[in-house]
Amino acid sequence: PSLQMLWLLFLSLPGLGGSVPSFPGLIDSAGWPRWSAQCPAGRWPWQVSVRRYNKELELWQHRCGGSLIHHQWVLTAAHCTQREDWGAYGLRVQVGQLRLYDHDTLTNVTKIVCHPKFNQSLSAEGGADVALLTLEAPVTLSERIGLVPLPPASLRVPERKMCWVSGWGYSSLRAPRLWPYQLQAVMVPIVGNEVCNQRYQNSSTNTGQIIKDDMLCAGSEGQDSCQGDSGGPLVCSWAGTWVQVGIVSWGYSCGHRDFPGVYARVMSYISWILEYVP
């Protein structure tokens, strides 16, 4: 696939290197979210929207997803934070919202911690696509706002296990949805790294390892994350509870049968996360 087909799930904002806002999203084979019954309140209470101010629209615009892992910490993708003209002051976080931009009550971000192995020039494809955001004040947990449990570093997610990814991104690369709209979620099967790597190599001149050990693949034809979902959580049911096993990172196309979505593997970064998050 050409570079144009590769999507990193964040927005290209007017005046900042892109002319068309692009948001990643969840699709099914009909081009709409498979779980199209709108997410009920409290279903994914850890889902957050990471925002950046758009001067033209005079709006704190959705850039990426993220997940609340502590009262004062959000887990997201490093590529969502890599613009050099941003500091933490340039980001805001919205928690507890189902319908994007509906009665925003944004929280300031005071610190961005990118994983030291994240390479800006390689971006998400280089791996270590993990970042932490410190919130200015702890959020109050409620029916709509909750924390997602993190897995043990030793957790192995089996192939074909069905997990869920959520976000406000595109319903397909060709059909971005109008704003505001409801949080969507879709069930996706885990794809083993070896199989996933082979599929990506088949359409690449790169004969090396494309899907690295710190990545996780999930998705099938019509069941995938897409542009605008970056940084959001992939969760699986494990031992009777939800745990976040992946962070939406990158992929070729959206919902393509040959290219599952690629996620940062949370288990690879548990010890790093715990260096910062209580």
CA separation for the pair 170, 23 (Å, rounded)? 5
For residue 145, count other CB atoms closer than 10 A to its CB: 18
Given 123, 171, 230, 268, the catalytic residue? 230
Quote the tokens at residue 126.
């280089």
Given 79, 123, 166, 172, the catalytic residue? 79
116 contacts: CB under 8 Å, gap ≥ 6:
128
Given 22, 70, 129, 268, the catalytic residue? 129
CA separation for the pair 213, 81 (Å, rounded)? 22
Q: Is 230 a catalytic residue?
A: yes
CA separation for the pair 125, 22 (Å, rounded)? 19
CA separation for the pair 206, 200 (Å, rounded)? 9
CA separation for the pair 64, 15 (Å, rounded)? 18
**196: enclosing H helix or E strand:** helix 193-202
- Which long-range contacts (C-beta less than 8 Å, at least 24 apart) are formed by 52-57? 52/11, 52/13, 52/86, 52/90, 52/91, 52/92, 53/90, 53/92, 54/13, 54/14, 55/15, 56/14, 56/15
Q: Is 103 a catalytic residue?
A: no
Q: Is 28 a catalytic residue?
A: no
- Measured CA to CA in angstroms, residue 231 lies from 78, 83, 113, 129 at distances of 8, 15, 14, 9
Active site residues: 79, 129, 230
